[in-house]
Amino acid sequence: MILPRLQGPQRTLAQTVAVVLLMGGLAWASVPFYDWFCRVTGFGGTTNVAEAGSDTVLDQTITIRFDGSLERDMPWTFKPVEREMTLRIGETGLAFYEATNPTDQPIAGQASYNVTPYEAGGFFDKIDCFCFTEQVLQPGESVLMPVTFFVDPAIVDDREGQYVHTITLSYTFYQIDLPEDDAQAALAPLTPAETPAIDLN
């Protein structure tokens, strides 16, 4: 089957549509590819995830600083409990962040994170972290949220990483939609047992 050759405006239109489709496909693919690239290389301060601590602990130490912030309109308060700690490279560290929901309704949040300097991202390994899952705080609730981590000893042999002596771990919490179960519970009427008593005296 021989397809008719497009002429003039028809050919231009077909080329334009093809370019739009190609660019759309690349834009769609770039998000997961960029995420994969950051996780593999530590680009942009993206950290690694480890199932267990390091088998090697060096005598050389490194200082970890902790930073916390909130996206605009996120009503929580959020801060690190400890501003910094010094660990041996390869040693497992445990740090806590404190979050409080001062409002009268449940609020769900998710934390984005990175480390600086960026070249340290590929050597900063999290074993467990509150940032792996969404967090829901009830009205007036305060929680301590842990992060367990270590700095890969391979950093001392890296061309740029060997000069890193301080790493800053930063989190930013932003509000997300409540999980359906929590949203339904917030809308449910109080049962007689939950209804506050009224003092008539």
Tell me, what's the pLDDT at 142?
97
Calculate mean pLDDT across residues 103-109.
Answer: 97
Given a cut of 50, whether residue 144 has pLDDT beyond it is yes
Query: Residue 6: what pLDDT?
Result: 53
Query: Is residue 43 predicted with pLDDT exceeding 60?
Result: no
Q: pTM of the full predicted structure? A: 0.68
Give the confidence band of 22 by pLDDT, cuts at 50, 70, 90.
low
Higher pLDDT, 15 or 138: 138
Say which amino acid occupies 33: F
Tell me, which fold does domain 48-186 have in CATH?
A: Ctag/Cox11 (Pfam 04442) (2.60.370)
Per the CB < 8 A criterion, the answer to whether 76 and 172 are in contact is no
pLDDT tier for residue 201 given thresholds of 50, 70 and 90: very low
- Integer Cα distance of 55 and 68 in angstroms: 30
pLDDT of residue 180: 73
**Mean pLDDT, rounded, for 61-85:** 97
Domain spans of the chain?
10-41, 48-186
Is residue 147 within 8 Å of 128, Cβ to Cβ? yes
Residue 194 has pLDDT above 90, yes or no: no
Helices within the chain (DSSP H only): 8-41, 180-187
pLDDT value at 192 more than 60: no
DSSP character string of 132-178: GS-EEE-TT-EEEEEEEEEE-GGGGGSTTGGG--EEEEEEEEEEEPP
Range with the poorest average pLDDT among 53-67, 123-137, 167-181: 167-181
